[in-house]
Amino acid sequence: MTTLHAPLPPASGAWREGDPPGRRRWVALPGPLPLEAGGELPGVRIAYETWGELNADASNAVLVLHALTGDSHVTGAAEPGHPTAGWWDALIGPGRALDPRDWFIVAPNVVGGCQGSTGPSSAAPDGRPWGSRFPLVTARDTVSAEVVLADELGVASWACVVGGSMGGMRALEWAATQPERVRRLFLLASPAATSADQIGWAAPQIAAIRSDPGWRGGDYHDAPPGQGPHAGLGIARRMAHLSYRSAFELAERFGRQPQTGEDPWTGGRYAVESYLDHHAAKLVRRFDAGSYVRLTEMMNAHDVGRGRGGVAAGLALVQAETMVAGISSDRLYPLEQQAELAAHIPLAGELRVIDSPYGHDGFLIEAPTVGGLLGALLHR
């Protein structure tokens, strides 16, 4: 009997030039992108997707910003060029909160990402992948880049900017950096500034990737299949995924049960270990380790008060009508961080708490509740 094995994963799961474009379109920055950390990034382009049409007075544009391992493919099937189905599919579509019959929805892949926008896997001006040479890009830098996208699309101001987790950090920076261009703001499960605890969660993830022999100092993109930093990226994903879910959910779902057909006392796995292995294996086939490192560093650098006199002063810059929501069981970005946002953003009102057992991932899983909140904000 022949045993079939899955093909080895490519060194990077990034979208690469020559791959099917899928639904993506691109906009190129007219010049180098100046960076908060110093220097500049040349040759930047942003991959994005849209749904619906911009109306005559350009008043119906909504910007949706993805989290760490998301991309521009917010909704739609997996297809050539898009390795997975839309990550927030329940929010966009007829009768949903973001109905393309009413709204012009724009979703960019973040600069530093790996699904079409310029990032570590992209070609630098010398034609080689950026790899280890790709610089730190902050959330504030991504706003500077996305302003070019907004201008290209004819959007003088967004009817709403929406983001959860890392997307919420970027959405907040949009509203603080370009307050006149954001009329409404929807922040989900995200902080005003990344805490020591969150940087601590990130540190072993980055260390796992960088200690993988396949990392090659960050210059692995042209390595043969199976020889990228897959083990390190998989370990990072396992650690991250634990922070995305709650202890209660894991206990209810898995308990101390062994994986079917395996005995943990003789080298087998517990069911929860198999679950984490599954998510690690999926990520290494669709994501880039260099992007994971740089985007994690982007989140570590997030601080809306940097250079603005502190967090309260940074939040006071926001002029948008704002809704802040958090997940009751979120142990990565706990409710007190969303309470800080609601307390200091002038037009935020009270914090909306989404009661969910799913932890941080509740911002994606509790789609009916999230859609209801967003719909209420959009129709004020």
Long-range contacts (CB closer than 8 Å, 24 or more residues apart) made by 224-227: 224/11, 225/7, 225/8, 225/9, 225/10, 225/11, 226/8, 226/9, 227/11
Out of 330, 344, 356, 361, the active site residue is: 330
Closest CA to 149 of 88, 106, 99: 106
Closest CA to 68 of 274, 241, 282, 277: 241
Q: Is residue 171 exposed (0-12), middle (13-18) or buried (19+ Cβ within 10 Å)?
A: buried
Query: What CA–CA distances, in Å, run from 336 to 126, 330, 339, 354, 372?
Result: 46, 10, 5, 13, 22
Closest CA to 227 of 284, 295, 280, 277: 284
How many other CB atoms are found less than 10 A from the CB of residue 56? 7
Distance of CA 294 to the CA centre of its chain: 12
d(CA 123, CA 233): 21
d(CA 341, CA 349): 10
Annotated catalytic residue 360: yes
Out of 82, 141, 360, 361, the active site residue is: 360
d(CA 358, CA 380): 29
Instruction: Name residue 37's amino acid.
Output: A
Out of 72, 165, 243, 356, the active site residue is: 165
β 61-65/160-164 pair status: parallel
Find residue 129's DSSP bridge partners.
123
Q: Locate tokens 């997707």: which residue?
A: 49
Annotated catalytic residue 99: no
Annotated catalytic residue 330: yes
Helix, strand, coil percentages (3-state) for the chain, rounded to 5, are 40, 15, 45
d(CA 134, CA 114): 12
How many other CB atoms are found less than 10 A from the CB of residue 165? 26
Please name the residues in contact with 172: beta carbons below 8 A apart, sequence gap of 6 or more.
139, 163, 185, 187, 190, 192, 304, 318, 341
Looking at the annotation, which residues are catalytic?
A: 165, 330, 360
